[in-house]
Amino acid sequence: MTVRSRLSWKDVRDTVHDAILSGQYVPGDRLPRDADIASSLNCARSTVQRAMQDLSDSGLVERRRKGGTHVRLDPVTRATLDIPITRREVEQKGGRYGYQLIRQQQQTPPHKVLAALEMTTPQDLLRVEALHLSDCQPYMLEDRWICLDTAPEILDIDLSVQSANEWLVLNKPYSRCDLRFYAISADEKTADFLGTNAGAALFVIERTTWIETAPITTVRAITRPGYQLLTSS
Amino acid sequence: MTVRSRLSWKDVRDTVHDAILSGQYVPGDRLPRDADIASSLNCARSTVQRAMQDLSDSGLVERRRKGGTHVRLDPVTRATLDIPITRREVEQKGGRYGYQLIRQQQQTPPHKVLAALEMTTPQDLLRVEALHLSDCQPYMLEDRWICLDTAPEILDIDLSVQSANEWLVLNKPYSRCDLRFYAISADEKTADFLGTNAGAALFVIERTTWIETAPITTVRAITRPGYQLLTSS
DNA sequence: TAGTGGTCTAGACCACCGG
DNA sequence: CGGTGGTCTAGACCACTAT
């Protein structure tokens, strides 16, 4: 007799995952009830629950009360992205971080910015343009709008020393964050800042954050040529 | 006396989250032990555990045995992306989906492709080039390499009818997926397929999948001008 | 080695929703 | 209405690691 060690929820998850990978269940199929899986694998139902929760989170199965658990008909590729503070990103890639404040002034935002922030009443925002450097080479150009109602303390910060990116992340935790990725052709001014030629294809990250419903900031970060964004494993 | 209903783990999560948002705990601070939070909120420790797990998953806190739970020093913006089958993506945006097979042939992959698939021994792969359409307009150009050892059945599929994208997703579940995003300048041929001009900035999605350690496919999907990728949620 | 998070269990009740 | 997943509890033991 071999003494089997207790099953962990990861074991259960992998068992079910393997059953799906092997074709034992195909998209649309209904899986056994949690309780049945539990008794057939000889573990507690809550262990199965934990395993199925994980499979559900990763987009492989769909669960509904009474409806049971089904292999997703339309599987999605679900990925997690981690976007660190720019300083850390540069340092993690082995570069020496540098930072230049380009411009900082209160001004009336264009409608596009108001819309991104989901603001209804127009009001002046703080606009900050800055350049992040890696080993003294341009790394990322950011054009940021900050809501002074939500983050008035930013006016007391010397943004030529500490980047708005860093100050905000450390001092203004958000409860919601929208991200948007796309490509643009560099215009003259942008190309100049990033040390490339007008027309170069650049990767852009737009990020807008709120605390509850109050807008904090929206930023358009234009990366240097060749920049790539990877999933975090 | 009001009778308080039982606390859910989401209540606990929000309570702790709010304490951090309000500045009661700042980055680096140590939070109370789960057991203490449990008794102070009058719920079970496993309820607190569930809540803290969620906060940890979302990148707000860091947990270590014996070390306790700390507010993350270097908060990351953590986002989840859902990338559906291209046909679904087009349809969800309200377009009529179309598909054209451009070329399909077995050939020796360049080193770059081998490296992406983490293959050591060179061997012929199936290369498939295809164009996805939305309302008869070019939507996405894909250049795909498929590993015939892992997915030999693909040779029996008529890829002029069903896209490799769709067949693979439905029939070859993967256990690992790498994604990579960047921008390129359209070359003549690409511009022609996508109905734009050479030099246009295009957003590119590269995806490579494995089942366990066996490579399945790697694909470079070049999107039409103006394409944007958004976070789910 | 001792403190802390991670997990498992068995049981109970609830919430949702399909038939 | 009844079946299914979702959650809470109380307790136990384990695994990791800071001290």
The gap between B66 CA and D17 C1' (Å) is 6
Whether residues B49 and B96 share a domain: the answer is: no
Report the alpha-carbon distance of residue B61 to residue A162 in Å, rounded: 23
Q: Which of residues 47-66 of B touch strand D (CB under 7 A)?
A: 47, 50, 64-66
CATH number reported for the structural domain that contains residue B47 in this entry: 1.10.10.10
Measuring CA to CA, which residue among A49, A51, A44 is closest to residue A19?
A51
Q: Give the residue carrying structure tokens 């494995």.
A: B210
The gap between A71 CA and C17 C1' (Å) is 19
Report the alpha-carbon distance of residue B98 to residue B144 in Å, rounded: 18
* pLDDT (tens digit per residue) in B138-165: 999 999 999 999 999 999 999 999 999 9
Whether residues A104 and A158 share a domain: the answer is: yes
Whether residues A216 and A127 share a domain: the answer is: yes
Quote the pLDDT of residue B186. Answer: 97
Whether residues B114 and B219 share a domain: the answer is: yes
Measured CA to C1', the nucleotide nearest A64 is D5
Query: Is residue B232 assigned to a domain?
Result: no
- Mean pLDDT computed over A23-49: 95
Whether residues B210 and B109 share a domain: the answer is: yes
Q: Is the per-residue pLDDT at B1 higher than 50?
A: no
Please indicate if any CB of chain A lies within 8 Å of the CB of B173: yes
Quote the pLDDT of residue B173. Answer: 80
Task: Give this prediction's pTM.
Answer: 0.90
Task: Please indicate whether, in this complex, the C-beta atoms of B229 and A200 are within 8 angstroms of each other.
Answer: no
The gap between A185 CA and D11 C1' (Å) is 62
Give the one of B81, B84, B184 whose C-beta lies nearest to A79's C-beta: B81
* pLDDT (tens digit per residue) in B92-130: 899 999 999 999 999 999 999 999 999 999 999 999 999
Whether residues B156 and B53 share a domain: the answer is: no
Whether residues B175 and B94 share a domain: the answer is: yes
Q: Is the per-residue pLDDT at A2 higher than 60?
A: no
Whether residues B99 and B197 share a domain: the answer is: yes
Quote the pLDDT of residue B5. Answer: 62
Task: Please indicate whether, in this complex, the C-beta atoms of B170 and A207 are within 8 angstroms of each other.
Answer: no
CB B213 within 8 A of CB B128: no
Q: Is the per-residue pLDDT at B233 higher than 50?
A: yes
Domain count, chain B: 2
CATH number reported for the structural domain that contains residue A164 in this entry: 3.40.1410.10
> How many H-runs (helices) and E-runs (strands) does chain B carry?
7, 10
- Mean pLDDT computed over B21-30: 90
* pLDDT (tens digit per residue) in B45-71: 999 999 999 999 998 999 999 999 999
Whether residues A28 and A128 share a domain: the answer is: no
Whether residues B57 and B94 share a domain: the answer is: no
* Poorest-pLDDT segment among A31-40, A75-84, A114-123, A153-162: A75-84
The answer to whether B9 CB sits below 7 Å from nucleic acid chain D is: yes
Domain of residue B195: give its range.
86-223
Quote the pLDDT of residue B2. Answer: 40
Query: Is residue A76 assigned to a domain?
Result: no
* pLDDT (tens digit per residue) in A174-220: 888 999 999 999 999 999 999 999 999 999 999 999 988 899 999 99
